[in-house]
Structure 1
Amino acid sequence: MLQAENLNQYYGSSHTLRGVSLQVARGQCLALLGRNGVGKTTLLKCLMGVLPVSGGTVRLGGRDITRQPPHARAAAGIAYVPQGREIFGRLTVEENLRMGMATLPGREAARINGEVYELFPVLKEMLQRRGGDLSGGQQQQLAIARALLQRPQVLILDEPTEGIQPSIIKDIERVTRLLRQRGDIAILLCEQYFDFAQALADHFVVLARGEVVAAGSQAQMASGDITRHLAV
């Protein structure tokens, strides 16, 4: 579904991504792992088109989208939940959710799909509250729900557990597992915490200093060769 081949990216003279390749298929979850500062968020921004690449190719469903802007990638089916959530603090929960449907045709964008309330019941109770008044965990649930209303083929989650209370981490894990089991979406999960990723991912890629240093299947994730790249 989503494939990156030999991606390179620079910040000035700093070579931040070095020949990175990965792919995630429909119905699977790929965990992108690594310590802070190794290039994980940079890679996700390149996949979303927020940052340009200096070399390599990004494909969605076999179609080259390397030079497409972010809004075109969103319309094509990639939904991105960024690190820090980036919800609209002055808008209500309902208004934030409606922003997620901006790429849909008019009639389809007229009504919020009730499935997001089944996934995150707390949002239905808070529709008229401002996004900025929600707790960090509630904002994360809102950000994921907003992305799902886009009806994505690929869902990119950047550090969804960062700064979140344990009870809501469990909710996010439950929803991510449900989406994977449903089988109609590809999930790219960027995480620093191995245990959370291990519980959800079918495959993994580990970054260090902007390059892939390990990759493999779920069966290989318990390997000491993997965890040593994640230890502080």
Structure 2
Amino acid sequence: MLQVKDIDQYYGGSHTLRAVSLAVEPGQCLALLGRNGVGKTTLLKCLMGVLPVARGSVSFEGRDITGLAPHQRAALGMAYVPQGRDIFARLTVEENLLMGMAARPGRAGKRIDEDIYTLFPVLRTMLRRRGGDLSGGQQQQLAIARALVAQPRLIILDEPTEGIQPSIIKDIGRVIRMLRERGDIAILLCEQYFDFARELADSFVVLSRGEVVASGGQAEIGSEAVRRHLSV
């Protein structure tokens, strides 16, 4: 589904990503782990075309997309839920969801799929409320739902548990688990909390100072090896 080969990226004189490679398959949840500031968000922005890649390549479903713009990647079936959610605060919940549908050709103007309300029941009761009036946890659910309405083949989640109350974290975990079990979508989950990721991910990539320091399943790299790179 997604294949990343030897990506390098720079910020000024800093080498922020160093030959990073990873791959995500349909029906798989890959957890991208690391402390704050190690390059996780930078990598995700490179995958979506928000930041340029200095060297290396990004392929989606066998197609080289390294030079494509973000809206072109979204049209192919890539969805991105950024850190901080970035919902449209002055638009209603329903309008936010309709904006998400516009990301894919042929989806604009269609009705929101009922499956979205199965995944996020609270949104059905808040369709007329403005996004800015929702709680942080509700905004996070809206941001994920907005990405899913376009029926993506790959969803990228950047720190979905950050600043969220425990009850909503459980709901988000339930949704990720349901998406993985469907088997038709690839999930790239960026997290710094290993306990949350461990319950959901099939495999892990751990970043430190812009490079991959560990990768594989839990049986291959072990929980303690992962935790060592996450501890302060």
Normalised-by-shorter TM-score class: over 0.9
Match of 1:102 in 2: 102
Aligned equivalents of 2:96 and 2:136: distance in 1? 15
Q: Normalization by structure 1: what TM-score?
A: 0.98
- Greater displacement, 28-37 / 209-218: 209-218
Match of 1:69 in 2: 69
CA displacement at 1:106 relative to structure 2: 4.6
CA displacement at 1:100 relative to structure 2: 0.5
Amino acid at match of 1:152: P
CA displacement at 1:218 relative to structure 2: 3.2
* C-alpha distance 120-88 of structure 1, shift in aligned 2 (>3 A): same
Residue by residue over 1:162-182, the C-alpha shift from the partner in whole angstroms, topping out at 9 and shown as x without a partner, is 000000000000000000000
Amino acid at match of 2:88: F
Is the 1:137–1:164 Cα contact (8 Å) retained in structure 2? yes
Residue by residue over 1:141-191, the C-alpha shift from the partner in whole angstroms, topping out at 9 and shown as x without a partner, is 000000001110100000000000000000000000000000000000000
Residue by residue over 1:192-232, the C-alpha shift from the partner in whole angstroms, topping out at 9 and shown as x without a partner, is 00000000000000000000000011324543222100001
SS in 2 for 1:224: helix
Match of 1:231 in 2: 231
Match of 1:164 in 2: 164
Runs of 4+ in 1 over 3 A off after TM superposition: 104-109, 220-223
Residue 199 of structure 1 pairs with residue 199 of structure 2: yes
Match of 1:47 in 2: 47
Is the 2:101–2:107 Cα contact (8 Å) retained in structure 1? no
* C-alpha distance 72-225 of structure 1, shift in aligned 2 (>3 A): same
Is the 1:201–1:218 Cα contact (8 Å) retained in structure 2? no
Aligned equivalents of 1:143 and 1:187: distance in 2? 15
SS in 2 for 1:152: coil
Residue by residue over 1:72-126, the C-alpha shift from the partner in whole angstroms, topping out at 9 and shown as x without a partner, is 0000010000000000000000000001001334566421111110100000000
Residue 27 of structure 1 pairs with residue 32 of structure 2: no
Q: What is the aligned length?
A: 232
Aligned equivalents of 1:54 and 1:106: distance in 2? 33
Aligned equivalents of 2:8 and 2:161: distance in 1? 27
Which 5+ residue runs of structure 2 have no aligned equivalent? none
* C-alpha distance 203-106 of structure 1, shift in aligned 2 (>3 A): closer
RMSD: 1.1
Is the 2:141–2:172 Cα contact (8 Å) retained in structure 1? yes
Mapping of 1:73-152 within 5 angstroms?
Answer: 73-106=73-106, 109-152=109-152
Amino acid at match of 1:130: R
Aligned equivalents of 2:220 and 2:184: distance in 1? 25
Aligned equivalents of 1:122 and 1:39: distance in 2? 33
Is the 1:198–1:221 Cα contact (8 Å) retained in structure 2? no
Q: Normalization by structure 2: what TM-score?
A: 0.98
Amino acid at match of 1:29: C
Residue 184 of structure 1 pairs with residue 145 of structure 2: no
Is the 1:8–1:53 Cα contact (8 Å) retained in structure 2? yes
* C-alpha distance 13-169 of structure 1, shift in aligned 2 (>3 A): same
